[in-house]
Structure 1
């Protein structure tokens, strides 16, 4: 068991009145699949659900596992909760930075398969949709550049095939800095993208999104400021009515740890909890990389936190590490 977290810097969030006013004031039309404003969200929002207590300790799933591309850190990851699969994305070796590699891992961290996805973006967050025995991946595509700063301009959905070339169906084309995450328990898709110079979240039933229907989000709200100083956004995930985010930077040792997990009520856009996490504090150059939700076969709900690491500061190889929190409240 790892150390208990301590509070992160205080957050600033919208009031409920400001939440709806901001939504009504932000009319965005980006491509054929444009999202509507906050007032177009379903009247009932998302039913209130149990949530993960982010102030509780974290536990190891695995540490120091090398992915298919040895020289690049892990980015976003997601679980197929039906077929019991784990997928992790990273940049490809020897490319300019926008070409990604999708890894399928065992739950002990061994690489079971991979796919290369060209000109995709950065891979901050991905989703998975189980369809029978197949796993369909949701992730950004059509990057706006060819470097590590490139970000996707559309969402891609494709079947994972080890060693195959993705057969992609695209949604929400013409977006800016778009990514997604899936809720494997309640089967929903969250979309995060830049609208009017600010990041917004929208959530849809996964079946509706797969059918190309993005007309009526369950909720649509701007990302609240997470502290009074700038933070490095490193991933997000959703579970029921809560959105979880991860932020922080990489540090050579535990003395510089600044990684924080935040829980946001998606029906109000308000920050409910924010806590520093020391999961994997002994890792060399520990950098937060991604969040995902998983429910075990035994029924335990877990919020997973990803971290990249190195064996030493001067080693070019990068390693993946996963930890989880499992105290469900409500």
Structure 2
């Protein structure tokens, strides 16, 4: 069931003018969204492979999320170093997948899971937007923070230490929420967030803020909030193994948002171990891409068979790249061999591949 949000002076989708919206008990202006991109990526059309497989800064894991620096062409990504839940290591690849020194990273301990990050580029500086401040016993954040990227940093920071860094800011946009994450549109003007009310931690919602107003601590929303349950209504509730839909990334471009969902291959279990390997039945998995209209909440979903021959094949990370043409990038983690997990340790190294969708459409969803 969709959780009814408390709101005052709700501005319905598509209406003109200025209204007001209560965000976690804090009144914020609701603005008419004016996006310059009238079309969307048709997730049901064919695309291609951008690059991969490549190894990352932390070779024991794939990334959790990615975001593109449109000025320098870099693809920043977040990993869980040493497969440690709650810790986030930020590094980057070149836009063509070329790797950078393994020591060129910034690590943030006990910040969150890193299911989405955002890149803000200002003159000569790059800022990372991400989750932070998870509650005790949790590995996902409750607040959002902005950190200035430090090239060749190679250090780990607790929240207390990060707060002393130049350019660090923290924002509590949706009080009493958990499981938060965020990303930024390619033009660097809007912040898309995912969150769940603390009392209903599995009922996630999406909201878009004007980025500059957030930085000025006068947060202004640009669209009505949307329920994840409604947006993913065209994605099967469970896969062939009975596992529920699994959020793996989000992006925003124009008046449209994008979601990535799905699981790694799963075959067999017993004695505390489970094996990921491509099923012999020819099952092509449950990885889905969803596009939704930020104004109306209408959505369209399609399964992708990208890299379905991979052994492990877990979807991780979604981003928009504007380089030579607009592309919706999505990542796929793989391993050289089928992996048997015991506890939280993998038996082999991970690699990352990135595929894309590039067919645009103006047809109503």
TM (normalized to structure 1)? 0.82
* RMSD after superposition: 2.8
In structure 1, list runs of 5 or more residues that go unmatched.
1-11
Residue 193 (structure 1) aligns with: 195
Judging changes above 3 Å, is the alpha-carbon distance between structure 1 residues 309 and 208 closer, same or farther for their aligned structure 2 residues?
same
Whether contact under 8 Å (2:213, 2:220) holds in the other structure is no
CA displacement 1:13-41 (0-9 Å, x = unmatched) = x9xxx9959xx9x96527xxx575xxx63
Give yes or no for the alignment of 1:159 onto 2:187: no
Residue 50 (structure 2) aligns with: 61
Q: After the TM superposition, which of the residue ranges 317-326 and 46-55 deviates more from structure 2?
A: 46-55
SS of the equivalent of 2:194 reads strand
Written as runs of structure 1 = structure 2, the 5 A alignment for 1:267-282 is 267-271=295-299, 273-282=300-309
Rounded to whole Å, the distance in 1 between the matches of 2:264 and 2:236 is: 20
Rounded to whole Å, the distance in 2 between the matches of 1:153 and 1:110 is: 32
Residue 138 (structure 1) aligns with: 129
Written as runs of structure 1 = structure 2, the 5 A alignment for 1:142-221 is 142-145=133-136, 150-161=139-150, 162-163=152-153, 164=155, 166=162, 167=165, 168-172=168-172, 174=175, 175-185=177-187, 187-195=189-197, 197=200, 198-221=203-226
TM (normalized to structure 2)? 0.74
Whether contact under 8 Å (2:210, 2:220) holds in the other structure is no
Residue 261 (structure 1) aligns with: 289
Q: After the TM superposition, which of the residue ranges 130-139 and 189-198 deviates more from structure 2?
A: 189-198
In structure 2, list runs of 5 or more residues that go unmatched.
5-9, 14-18, 238-243, 266-276, 340-346
Rounded to whole Å, the distance in 1 between the matches of 2:326 and 2:24 is: 37
State the shift of 1:199 in Å.
1.4
Rounded to whole Å, the distance in 2 between the matches of 1:35 and 1:91 is: 36
State the shift of 1:94 in Å.
6.3
Rounded to whole Å, the distance in 1 between the matches of 2:188 and 2:170 is: 23
Whether contact under 8 Å (1:46, 1:218) holds in the other structure is no
Whether contact under 8 Å (1:151, 1:177) holds in the other structure is yes
State the shift of 1:215 in Å.
3.8
Give yes or no for the alignment of 1:29 onto 2:29: no
Residue 106 (structure 1) aligns with: 94
Judging changes above 3 Å, is the alpha-carbon distance between structure 1 residues 64 and 311 closer, same or farther for their aligned structure 2 residues?
same
SS of the equivalent of 1:207 reads helix
Judging changes above 3 Å, is the alpha-carbon distance between structure 1 residues 228 and 60 closer, same or farther for their aligned structure 2 residues?
closer
Residue 304 (structure 1) aligns with: 329
Whether contact under 8 Å (1:121, 1:150) holds in the other structure is yes
State the shift of 1:158 in Å.
0.8
Judging changes above 3 Å, is the alpha-carbon distance between structure 1 residues 169 and 250 closer, same or farther for their aligned structure 2 residues?
same
Q: Which has the larger radius of gyration?
A: 2
Whether contact under 8 Å (2:69, 2:121) holds in the other structure is yes
Residue 252 (structure 2) aligns with: 238
Rounded to whole Å, the distance in 1 between the matches of 2:123 and 2:107 is: 23
Count residues in correspondence.
299
Judging changes above 3 Å, is the alpha-carbon distance between structure 1 residues 216 and 52 closer, same or farther for their aligned structure 2 residues?
closer
SS of the equivalent of 1:178 reads strand
